[in-house]
């Protein structure tokens, strides 16, 4: 077992795990790894591969009704047993791991290293997202890049070309990736906004991967760790794989300087996007399956941080303080030009 330190921005944590688990998690959390922290971590996550501990938890709780059901992922629900001082969570189906949560420690025991790393990564995502909410932030459906210290947030509905424009910004214009589909957007003083990338796999359609010569060529003799032809025939790459293949390290955070909204539409792009337009294209709304605080982290994180009130005028403030550029396109051959416009912050 060894320890890694993560600075997630809104909170910090230490992860204690076997080396194979650290190596698997590195594919997602590497941008947040730091050699030291200022002070003690907000929480420690301890991960082990211990099938006996999983079996003991299943056996000890078999005759006790669960206190609650919680959803952590579209394909994962937990039964939770809440007792004084701690909570125990077991998957509703395929109970191959157990999570025990106390105020300062999350303990994950799993039967296999692959499962241990997957659950550990999901826990890190929760810490990042819930920590951002404590500071009045929100998750937004957007990619983000950093261009010489200036952040660009790229929003749009599914199919609007976000991933292709993102790869063109990286390959053609030297941008650093920050987020590929989900970012935590946190308001700061004055007109400042910080975007932190939520570590998720990049998904490419066969057509979309063809828009990236670097990635398309690399995949001729490179086998992604997540395999090929997964959901809807898409190819999935981890953030670490993308960074390595394109030669641009992923950054954990960027200060946003402008927002670009992409639409696949023959209509004239909106020239003066308002807060409603911005929210329509960035908000996950009530259907966000990552919105549930299934580990009950908010009370813990609120105890260790300065809590900011949730801003009911979040979208209005965002639209009023950030330049918003709407870019429309109809044919995929236009996307390199769309990326160039996003880079320069100008209409095509």
Mean pLDDT computed over 196-221: 85
- pLDDT at residue 309 is higher than 60: no
3-state DSSP assignment of residue 198: coil
3-state DSSP assignment of residue 322: coil
User: Over pLDDT 70: what percentage of the chain?
Assistant: 95
- pLDDT at residue 268 is higher than 80: no
What band does 230 get if pLDDT is binned at 50, 70 and 90? low
Instruction: Tell me what pLDDT residue 208 has.
Output: 76
- pLDDT at residue 287 is higher than 80: no
Mean pLDDT computed over 145-167: 94
Mean pLDDT computed over 88-100: 91
**Cα gap 322→320, rounded to integer Å:** 6
**Mean pLDDT lowest for which of 92-101, 112-121, 279-288, 297-306?**
297-306
What band does 348 get if pLDDT is binned at 50, 70 and 90? low
| Residue 172 structure tokens | 């053609």
Name the more confident of 288 and 256.
256
Between the CA of residue 117 and those of 111, 183, 296, what are the distances in Å? Answer: 11, 21, 20
**Domain definitions of the chain by residue range:** 2-134, 138-344
Residue 301 sits at φ, ψ, to 5 deg, of: -70, -35
What band does 231 get if pLDDT is binned at 50, 70 and 90? low
**255 - beta bridge partners?**
194
**Cα gap 328→338, rounded to integer Å:** 8
The answer to whether the CB of 174 falls within 8 A of the CB of 185 is no
CATH class of 138-344: alpha beta
- pLDDT at residue 214 is higher than 80: yes
Instruction: Tell me what pLDDT residue 209 has.
Output: 79
- pLDDT at residue 267 is higher than 80: no
- pLDDT at residue 14 is higher than 90: yes
3-state DSSP assignment of residue 108: strand
**Mean pLDDT lowest for which of 25-34, 209-218, 250-259?**
209-218
Q: Can you tell me which residue has the tokens 């991967």?
A: 209
What band does 228 get if pLDDT is binned at 50, 70 and 90? low
What band does 63 get if pLDDT is binned at 50, 70 and 90? confident
Q: Which of 127, 150, 172 shows the shortest CA–CA distance to 11?
A: 127
- pLDDT at residue 271 is higher than 80: no
């Amino acid at each position: 077992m060894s320890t890694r330190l993560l600075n997630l921005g809104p909170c910090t944590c230490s992860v204690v795990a076997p080396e194979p688990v650290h190596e698997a998690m590195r594919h997602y959390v590497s941008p947040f790894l730091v050699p030291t922290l200022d002070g003690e971590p907000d929480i420690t996550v301890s991960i082990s591969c211990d099938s006996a501990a999983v079996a003991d938890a299943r056996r000890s709780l078999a005759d006790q009704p669960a206190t609650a059901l919680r959803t952590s992922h579209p394909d994962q629900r937990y039964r939770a047993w809440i007792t004084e001082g701690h909570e125990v969570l077991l998957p509703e189906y395929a109970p191959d791991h157990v999570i025990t949560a106390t105020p300062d420690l999350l303990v994950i025991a799993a039967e296999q290293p692959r499962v241990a790393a997957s659950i550990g990564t999901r826990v890190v995502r929760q810490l990042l997202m819930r920590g951002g909410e404590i500071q009045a932030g929100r998750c937004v459906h957007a990619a983000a890049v950093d261009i010489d210290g200036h952040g660009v947030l790229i929003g749009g509905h599914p199919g609007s070309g976000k991933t292709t424009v993102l790869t063109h910004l990286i390959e053609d214009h030297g941008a650093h990736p920050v987020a590929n589909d989900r970012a935590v957007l946190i308001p700061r003083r004055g007109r400042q906004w910080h975007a932190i990338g939520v570590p998720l796999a990049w998904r490419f359609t066969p057509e979309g991967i063809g828009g990236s010569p670097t990635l398309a060529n690399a995949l001729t003799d490179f086998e992604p760790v997540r395999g090929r032809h997964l959901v809807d025939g898409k190819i999935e790459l981890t953030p670490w794989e993308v960074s390595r293949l394109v030669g641009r390290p992923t950054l954990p955070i960027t200060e946003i300087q402008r927002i670009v909204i992409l639409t696949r539409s023959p209509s004239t792009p909106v020239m003066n996007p308002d807060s409603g337009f911005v929210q329509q294209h960035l908000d996950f709304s009530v259907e966000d399956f990552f919105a549930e605080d299934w580990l009950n982290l908010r009370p813990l994180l609120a105890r260790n941080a300065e809590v900011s009130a949730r801003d009911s005028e979040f979208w209005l403030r965002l639209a009023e303080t950030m330049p918003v550029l709407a870019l429309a396109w109809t044919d995929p051959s236009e996307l390199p030009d769309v990326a160039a416009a996003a880079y320069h912050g100008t209409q095509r």
